[in-house]
Amino acid sequence: MATIFYDDDADLSLIQGSKVAVLGYGSQGHAHALNLRDSGVDVRVGLRPGSSSRQRAQEEGLVVKDTNEAAAEADVIVVLLPDTHQKSAWENGLADAVEPGNTLVFGHGFNIHYGFVEPSDDVDVILIAPKSPGHIVRRLYTQGQGTPGLLAVHQDASGNAAELGKSYAAALGLTRTGLLETTFQEETETDLFGEQAVLCGGVSHLVRDGFETLVEAGYQPEAAYFECLHELKLIVDMMYEGGISWMRHSVSTTAEWGDYVSGPRVINDQSRAAMKDILAEIQDGSFARDFMAEWEAGAENFTSHRTAGREHQIEQVGKEVRAMMPWLDEPTEELES
């Protein structure tokens, strides 16, 4: 069983006595910076010159500096840049800004686990990973609650890395709910597997293939959208609240029987074998190497996949269906090109 830490296990004064630089102001970056500030921590945000996030961070009342400048004046440097940007940032001044005795905090173990970023052995390297999107981390904190999170120690030069990690997590609100102890390897490999085989890759392709099957059989695209995408949230919410058994209890007996007899015809030994292949590629590092090589080569294939996905019929039908439901909060942020 996992070791879980709570508020009583953390000394908040440790992080309150540190100067913290949060590098990046995206989904996680803004939540970390604001929660740290509201927990009484001396925090500044590090962004590249010309970053579109600079004005937003300043409007939130945060001190904003260039990435390397922010890191150089901090004791605790929190690297929340995208996985694809961390290696270049490290090689372009960030490594020089990190001093002996500093602590490096990562929100995901990718670059450390696969060796794209290799800190010197005189700094602490820890992982603090909230298990929720940043806006949920922030919202629950302001409501006096918190999300679960993960803690891992990759390098303990000071002998106090775990204690500082628990303190940092407390400032984010994670120890209000529970902070699970893990390793960089476990966090990275399980996170990548979950994304690829289930949460993103598995679900999105299951939804799209189901939609296409119904449309190709002559059913209305709107009906296919409702059955294969719209109602997915209802099912996931029930699973989130009470597990798979609660979902099965909550749906009709017809749906429950279909789960038992038809589900294994779609998700079966063949798909399980594919999952094992995906996991093996994550474990041996080939996925990480291929991904970084794709990005460094200009991300042409990545962009092609993204464009094709956005042009799929299900996206256009979805816009029309969601327009019928004005209570939905449509994303206001423009999609990246």
Residue-wise pLDDT for 2-57, tens only, equals 899 999 999 999 999 999 999 999 999 999 999 999 999 999 999 999 899 999 99
> What percent of the chain has a predicted confidence (pLDDT) above 90?
96
149-155 and 124-130 beta bridge pairing = antiparallel
Dump pLDDT digits (tens) for 184-205: 999 999 999 999 999 999 999 9
Backbone φ, ψ for residue 260 (5° rounding): -70, -40
Q: Read off the pLDDT band of 245 (50, 70, 90).
A: very high
CA-to-CA dists, residue 142 to 21, 137, 138, 147, 173, angstroms: 21, 9, 6, 12, 9
Kindly report whether the global pTM for this prediction surpasses the value 0.85: yes
Dump pLDDT digits (tens) for 117-135: 999 999 999 999 999 999 9
Average pLDDT over residues 245-274: 97
Q: Read off the pLDDT band of 1 (50, 70, 90).
A: confident
What ranges in the chain are assigned the alpha helix state H?
13-16, 27-38, 54-59, 67-72, 83-89, 95-97, 110-113, 134-142, 161-172, 184-193, 201-216, 221-225, 232-250, 253-266, 269-283, 286-296, 300-310, 313-322
Average pLDDT over residues 298-305: 97
pLDDT attached to residue 180? 98
333 pLDDT exceeds 90?
A: no
337 pLDDT exceeds 60?
A: no
Catalytic residues: 108
Tokens of 28: 């996680």
